[in-house]
Structure 1
Amino acid sequence: MLIKHDEIKDFMMQMTMPFNLKEDENLDRFNIGDSIHFNLTIEGKNSYAHNFKIIKNLNLEDVLEDDFWEQNPYDPVEMGDFISDGSFLDLDSNLVSLSDFDGDYIFLSYIFSRCPMPNMCPAVIVKNQYLAQKLNEFNIKFILLSFDHLYDTPSILKQSYEQLNNRFTNLIFLSSFGSEKDLNIISRQTGMSFWGIEDNDIGHTMRSILISPDGKLLSTYDGLDWEVKDVEKNIKEILSLP
């Protein structure tokens, strides 16, 4: 369930994000715009919201219109269509374009460094690490692009991910700092949404994509629960690998 929540002191800034629910939760009792109280439980790499109490209902017309880019001119591309090139910064502040990886497939995932939920951005990073290790002999690069174009500068990303970035030659962290236009174009074209960066109230969807060496969208992997072995198998099939 997508929830815009207040700051959780000493754990998470205010954000808009999807929460897992317990299997016996009755979704029919909720309406868009409900103001709620709830508990968040984290168990290992998993988390879920529960003990909901509905307080009141709010009018979200203006929020939805602002947050979800209804005025953005860039439409999602169809499978097999070309994705626009974009230029971003690596951990040493060097400008890197997607076209620089010409000849390689690209597995692109979106993250931001302050994501506190273990089953969201941190899990995506672990999954990419697994895939980078399993497919390190093939012509595919795994790019983790931060969409937090205000906070996640190269130096911020370097503090968190330099060791991992250096461990794998095919795993690359990129910052969108100073590249908001390119970020908006590519994320919109590939069907990934984020919002609230300027307000420090971040929300986002979860999506990874596979791009061909000539820049075409080949496959998408959505949500929190895709399994690395399934994606590994799918990538091998697309690359015609044994």
Structure 2
Amino acid sequence: MTSHRRLLSVVLLSLSLFAAGCRKSGPAAPATQKSFPLKGRIVATDPATGEVTLDHEAIPGYMEAMIMPYKLAQPDTISEFHPGDRIAAHLVLDATRGDDPSGYRHPRLDQVVVTAQARPDYKPAVQYHVPAAGDTIPDFALLNQSGKTIHLAQFKGKVVAITFIYTRCPLADYCPRMSRNFADLDQSLAADPALYGDTHLISISFDPTYDTPAVLRSYGGAYTGKYTKEQFQHWDFAAPPVKELPAITQFFNVGITPGDNPTSLQHSLSTILIGKDGKVAAWYPTNDWKPADLLNDIKAAAKL
């Protein structure tokens, strides 16, 4: 009986979406992003469309449990998923009418993490490393906002927080949110001189062709609030060389695909806390973390 209700829900939802698509209307209202955490089991995958059919749990505030196909925000990662996998993800939608669910459009799955693999022997074409506490950080080289090459190993002995962004990111809950969080964190650390001297922040761009030192300097100065007077002594904005981009994004589990236009990228998020020993202390794969939470983790790592 439950499966019949689910199937009926899918049919009704499909008909409503079809009707909405056929209805004539005036200019579309500007869309904002709405995101819901989601868990479920993959029923099928379709590499041709970049969709996975998911048997998911109820999504509070949006819909009941049901079986539905969803597009992936990063379609080229579909080879990493197969029927039977259990996943956790964020269901991202364009909200044209605030918090009115009837105004949600273009659902897609982002920040997808396989929590239980149906085929443990499966090896995807591209191996993404999932950061775990105790992992040694490779000595990646980056070109910072001052045109200087920095190495992650040079910060050994300090607690380092790293996040990934690109300066043209248009989604408020993605790169801008990470940068605002780091700005808040930077101010909190500055209030404790001893801790400030024991820490360092790095925002790494995965768009090195556009995000040159000059672009990163302007972007970074805006987020610190010091603009052209910023000295960047505690917070670096940097990008890897183009040829080294795959290695660094794969190690830190940052998925990137082309966006809807030439200036945009679809991507996952990754924020990493590195201890004084140069090893992963904590990893935050979504945008759910708060500056106060990371600050507490930094304080704990600094005391070790």
TM-score, with normalisation over the residues of structure 1? 0.70
Equivalent residue in structure 2 for 1:32, among 66, 70, 87: 70
More helix per residue: 2
2:277 maps to 214
Partner Cα distance (2:105, 2:283) in 1: 35
Gaps of 5+ in 1: 1-8, 13-17, 55-68
Does 2:257 correspond to 1:195? yes
Partner Cα distance (2:97, 2:162) in 1: 27
Partner Cα distance (2:159, 2:247) in 1: 20
1:175 maps to 239
Equivalent residue in structure 1 for 2:299, among 219, 236, 239: 236
Letter in 2 for 1:51: G
Does 2:150 correspond to 1:96? yes
Partner Cα distance (2:70, 2:173) in 1: 24
1:141 maps to 200
Equivalent residue in structure 2 for 1:155, among 200, 211, 214: 214
Post-superposition shift, 1:208?
0.6
Query: Would the alpha carbon gap of residues 150 and 19 (structure 1) be closer, same or farther in structure 2, given more than 3 Å must change?
Result: farther
Letter in 2 for 1:159: S
**Structural RMSD (CA):** 3.6
Partner Cα distance (1:19, 1:114) in 2: 20
Query: Would the alpha carbon gap of residues 117 and 167 (structure 1) be closer, same or farther in structure 2, given more than 3 Å must change?
Result: farther
2:286 maps to 223
Asked if structure 1 preserves the Cα contact closer than 8 Å seen for 2:201 and 2:235, the reply is yes
Q: Deviations over 1:174-218 (max 9, x none)?
A: 123x2441x322332233322228965511112210112332111
Partner Cα distance (2:102, 2:143) in 1: 40
Partner Cα distance (2:209, 2:252) in 1: 21
Q: Deviations over 1:72-122 (max 9, x none)?
A: 356335320211111111112111111122321210000011111222211
Asked if structure 1 preserves the Cα contact closer than 8 Å seen for 2:159 and 2:298, the reply is no
Letter in 2 for 1:184: P
State which structure, 1 or 2, has the greater radius of gyration over its C-alpha atoms: 2
Letter in 2 for 1:117: L
Post-superposition shift, 1:147?
0.9
Does 2:115 correspond to 1:51? no
Letter in 1 for 2:255: S
Letter in 2 for 1:230: D
Question: Identity of paired residues, percent?
Answer: 22
Letter in 1 for 2:35: N
Letter in 1 for 2:236: I
Asked if structure 1 preserves the Cα contact closer than 8 Å seen for 2:269 and 2:285, the reply is yes
Equivalent residue in structure 1 for 2:172, among 92, 115, 118: 118
Query: Would the alpha carbon gap of residues 219 and 31 (structure 1) be closer, same or farther in structure 2, given more than 3 Å must change?
Result: same
SS of equivalent to 1:89:
strand
Asked if structure 1 preserves the Cα contact closer than 8 Å seen for 2:147 and 2:213, the reply is yes
SS of equivalent to 2:70:
coil
Highest relative contact order (Cα 8 Å, sep 6+), 1 or 2?
A: 1
2:125 maps to 71
SS of equivalent to 1:96:
strand
Partner Cα distance (1:168, 1:201) in 2: 27
Partner Cα distance (2:145, 2:138) in 1: 22
Query: Would the alpha carbon gap of residues 53 and 89 (structure 1) be closer, same or farther in structure 2, given more than 3 Å must change?
Result: closer
Post-superposition shift, 1:235?
1.7
Asked if structure 1 preserves the Cα contact closer than 8 Å seen for 2:276 and 2:302, the reply is no
Gaps of 5+ in 2: 1-27, 37-58, 73-92, 107-122
The count of residues paired between Structure 1 and Structure 2 equals: 206
